Chain A
Amino acid sequence: MKALKFLFAACIALPLIYLIVVTPMNAEDQYIFGLCMIGACFLLSNISRKHFISVILILVSVTMSTRYMYFRATQTLAFDSLIEAICGWILFFAECYVYIILLLSSFQISWALKRETVPMPEDISKWPTVDVYVPTYNESLEIVRDTVLAAQCLEYPQDKIKVYILDDGRRKEFAQFATEAGVGYITRSDNAHAKAGNLNHAMKLTHGELIAIFDCDHIATRMFLQDTVGAFLKDKKLALMQTPHHFYSPDPIQRNLYLGRDIPCENELFYGPVQKGNDNWDAAFFCGSCAVIRRAALDEIGGFATETVTEDAHTALRLQRRGWRTGYLDKILAAGLATERTILHIIQRNRWARGMIQILRLDNPLFGRGLSFPQRLCYLSATMYFLFALPRVVFLLVPCMYLTFGISVLHGSAALLFAYALPHLFMSYYTSSRINGRHRYSFWGEIYDILLSFPLVIPTLAVLISPRHGKFNVTDKGGTVDKAYFDSHAVKPHLICAAFILFSMIFGIVKYFMPQYFTVQLGAVLLNVAWSAFNFTLLLAAICVARETPNKRKAQRLEITLPVLIYQQSGICSRSSLRDLSMTGCRLDNVLGDQVLQDDPVTDLEITTDHGVIVLKADMVSNSAYSDYLRFTFDNLDIDTRREIVRLLFTRPDTWKAAPHKQDNIIVSYFTVLACIWDSLTRKHSAKKKGKNEQRPAETVEDVIKKEGVPA
């Protein structure tokens, strides 16, 4: 019945769409038509936020883009000279790429699957056994340690879970730590196939029915397994359950450009609408970490895929070719460290891009066996996305070519072109703002892409030509940025390009105001200057990301209010309230007043948690004795104490729960971009300093009575 309805709708819609796409119009008519469509969608969109309306908007937007592309293909590809023809065709291909990505991603995000946790069966004997893998290569023990300790805090029957460090670095201190903490340690004699090889090696030595993988900085919350494993029991053909990668440290873009503003970070689009959309078509893919995989499924494809440098996506693709299902649970159950500096971010994305293009070339999802048509489209979208570098650069340069060299890459009047382009551009921005507006604000996607574009051009081409080459590089994490500085090296091509754009804009404006000296089309100049100005803003924003702001704090500090006892040397024990805590220290209300004397120092602290008490030796930061808060540093935490702090800081199920972002507004977003650039250039930090904490104690007598109750 549903299919029939769909068929019926298609019968009506398709001829209509065809008509809209192919009917030529003059500039004036096209303006009117475009504005009417925009107005109609505007109205429609404001009527309701229903999904049905969103689908219609997607449809209209795609239709208008198709109309534009049809116009481009049929009316604008006549050139006067060879150089113009070359540039013109390059631009056309770039636009075709963007158009294809638009089609694919429209399909991807059109239906988001809101997957819920499948509860675990009451009968614990039915719970499958799980191996928890923490692969590491060269990261410091300091980072890996807390991940492992958190894995030990996972709430799962102790006889059904085993935690392993997979150390590809063959480091003694890791083996020693594993023994002390009571987890398994697996290493190997070579490093063949990097992470995939590491995982495959470990698979031969362990026997859990399921494998949970956490990159060495991804600290899991304690309900991770109970939230993800249930689905494997319900669906015997489920091979993978992926959860979001969340970062508790700011990525370079957040730190250097958002400057404290509430803007969705880069990966929120992917770990929101995109993966949920993929999941709807049974095409959610593995992201290397924070996921659970069924061993039986991996065995069937011979373990993790080793041919590409993005073993994760490729492994998922392989599984799906064999008919295994995958799932994506949109619930933040683990958190890790974002790449610290812009240059590292670029290096990381370089690997992702190379890997995804490798898949595109070596195991193209469009062809080959086993995938459903929607799955092919989703995987194609994911892999093709990483070709964005070339078109991005083209879009940046094309208007400059016209303004400086007079190379006209489009045939036809500027007015007509604009009339066609306007509804196409506006509609695609508008729909994506509506659908993704809580996960990605307008124009930011362009900024992220532009930041990566220049550095990715050559790797992209190299891999396209020779896909079998390419090494896996590990992203450095957990570093610090001590001093503010401008990493001009990371954005050198951007700077050159920005200078070029600026020059061409000025040149263009000169041309505009002195038309007597130049032979130019004034409308075209105006259009290209406007286009360049837009490009320049985005490029400038990307450049600002390289203005590294210091990030001195080594340990993550979480605001958390808990009762704490302060032990002084004399034996006096006082109650206070913990206000924030990190792995290296904490801050509490100063309740000691003038009692903190030189001869009665604080020796220990006792933090009361739901899980018992944590007692630790602490050194008071001496200059805090007379301030509102006492600050302490912890020295030499033993493993058990450390595990308890990890449990407290990182493993509460609601640790990473955050309010959703405000819905995007295209215009506001553009001004936000400008404001970010301004603040970055003037080095202003818009994050407001938090005022003094409210002085309510962490726990009152009433709280305790409520918690403990009166015995019967």
Chain B
Amino acid sequence: MPVISVCSPKGGVGKTTLAANLAHVFSASGARVVCIDFDPQNSLRLYFGVQLSEERGFINIFTEDPKAGWIDAVINGGKNLFVIPYGKSSEDQRRALASVLADDKGPTNYLGEWQKGLFCDPSVLLIADFPPGYSPALAAISTVADISIVPLMADASSVSLFSVLENNELIDRPLNERLGYYIVLNHVDNRIRLNREVQDFAHGNFADRLLGVIHSDTSVIEAAAMQRSISDFNQNSSAAFDIEVIARKIAGLLKFDVKSGTMVLNPESQGA
């Protein structure tokens, strides 16, 4: 199954937004998608209509019974769409998970088990959301991820972050072993000159790592607040359009075949 990790050296750049909306786009195209939250903020679930009061997540299940498996944490988030929330956690729980993930190597590792045990169905697409910066989960998933999507702001601070990515400084090794990382510039507002300059810079220097841009669009925030999809809130939202473009490009990179609204997994990528 293809695994997409959404991570960034920086916080608040739209990782969760992007992860959730990619999941929506893919599932709407017919692919079965599981979206998993590795961020203790536990906010991804809110994009899938999960009640605020529903606080359990995989971390609770894991700490209660490490052998229980993931399936118990899965919540249906719509047609073809499943979400695994992080869950409300204590410091101890997080440390326990971290220590398991820290020496998470080899075929019997936790994530590997998770992959094999529950989601061996190759037609399922997995999207993982992470906290900003380094996290043990991000390091652990690098062995199984196929592609890493890195949202960044289109402002001056990002310019230095390009090299953080280029030099693999985030987890001290590549974010995944297959397609590598791709940058998405989020919160783009072309009315701001600096925004345009950063885009030009990115195009000039990292064209082959730049997947696309997402316009700054309040529809995103409004939709999130109403727990609706962006295009449900505003059919012509520019951000929704941009995210769809990015989703198609990811599909292209992963060699998904997008046909007539149905996303079919290309046979040759099933070996992963």
Residues of A that sit less than 8 Å from B by CB: 565, 567, 570-576, 591-592, 595, 604, 606, 612-613, 615, 701-702, 704-705, 708, 710-712
Contact = CB atoms under 8 A, between A and B. Distances in A.
A573 B216 contact: yes
A572 B207 contact: no
Given A711-B208, A711-B211, A567 B191 contact: yes
Contact of A615 (B190, B241, B249): B190
Contact of A574 (B211, B212, B222, B236): B236
Nearest to A572: B218
A249 to B, nearest CB: 32
Contacts of B209: 711
A616 to B, nearest CB: 9
A705 B219 contact: no
Contacts of A574: 217, 219, 234, 236-238
Nearest to A708: B212
Contacts of B234: 572, 574, 595
A711 B184 CA distance: 12
A613 B215 CA distance: 13
B244 A701 contact: yes
Nearest to B215: A573
B207 to A, nearest CB: 7
Interface string B230-258: 00001111110100110011001100000
Contacts of A612: 196
B249 A573 contact: no
A565 B222 CA distance: 18
Report which residue of B210, B216, B249 has the largest number of chain A beta carbons within 10 angstroms of its beta carbon: B249
B239 A573 contact: yes
B182 interface: yes
B252 A710 contact: yes
22 contacts: A565-B238, A570-B218, A572-B217, A572-B219, A573-B215, A573-B216, A573-B218, A573-B219, A575-B236, A576-B236, A604-B191, A612-B196, A613-B190, A615-B190, A701-B244, A705-B248, A708-B245, A710-B249, A710-B252, A711-B182, A711-B210, A711-B211
A572 B222 contact: yes
Contacts of A704: 245
Interface string B174-199: 00000000100000001100001000
Contacts of A570: 218
B217 A571 contact: yes
A712 B249 CA distance: 11
Contact of A606 (B191, B210, B241, B249): B191
A244 B68 CA distance: 81
Interface of B: 182, 190-191, 196, 207-212, 215-219, 222, 234-239, 241, 244-245, 248-249, 252-253
Top 6 A-B residue pairs of the complex, sorted by shortest distance between their CB atoms: A571-B218, A710-B252, A573-B217, A574-B236, A591-B236, A573-B238
Nearest to B212: A708
A595 B249 CA distance: 31
Contacts of A702: 248
B190 A701 contact: no
Nearest to A565: B238
B253 A710 contact: yes
Contact of A573 (B212, B235, B237): B237
Interface of B: prevailing SS: helix
Contacts of A572: 217-219, 222, 234, 237
Nearest to B250: A710
B205 to A, nearest CB: 13
Contacts of A701: 241, 244-245, 248
Nearest to B182: A711
A261 B239 CA distance: 45
A705 B249 contact: yes
Given A572-B218, A604-B191, A613-B196, 17 more contacts: A571-B218, A573-B215, A573-B216, A573-B217, A573-B238, A574-B236, A574-B238, A576-B236, A606-B190, A606-B191, A701-B244, A702-B248, A705-B245, A705-B248, A705-B249, A711-B208, A711-B210
Contacts of B207: 711
A606 B248 CA distance: 23
Contacts of A575: 236-238, 241
Nearest to B218: A571
A712 B208 contact: yes
A701 B28 CA distance: 15
A327 to B, nearest CB: 40
A567 B190 CA distance: 11
B230 to A, nearest CB: 11
Given A571-B217, A711-B211, A705 B237 contact: no
Contacts of B253: 710-711
B252 A705 contact: yes
Contacts of A712: 208
A565 B249 contact: no
B258 to A, nearest CB: 10
A567 B196 CA distance: 16
A579 B248 CA distance: 27
Q: Which of B234, B236, B248 has the most CB of A within 10 A?
A: B236
A614 to B, nearest CB: 9
A575 B214 CA distance: 12
Contacts of A604: 191
Contacts of A571: 216-218
A214 to B, nearest CB: 30
A701 B245 CA distance: 6
A711 to B, nearest CB: 5
B126 to A, nearest CB: 20
B263 to A, nearest CB: 13
The CB with the most chain B CB atoms within 10 A, among A704, A705, A710, A711, is that of A711
A708 B222 CA distance: 29
Nearest to B217: A573
Contacts of A606: 190-191
A573 B235 CA distance: 11
A710 B246 CA distance: 9
Contacts of B245: 701, 704-705, 708
Contacts of B196: 612-613
Contacts of B252: 705, 710
A704 B142 CA distance: 30
Contacts of B218: 570-573
Contacts of A573: 215-219, 237-239
B120 to A, nearest CB: 28
A604 B248 CA distance: 28
Nearest to A564: B238
A591 B235 CA distance: 8
Nearest to A603: B191
B224 to A, nearest CB: 13
Nearest to A567: B191
A702 B191 CA distance: 26
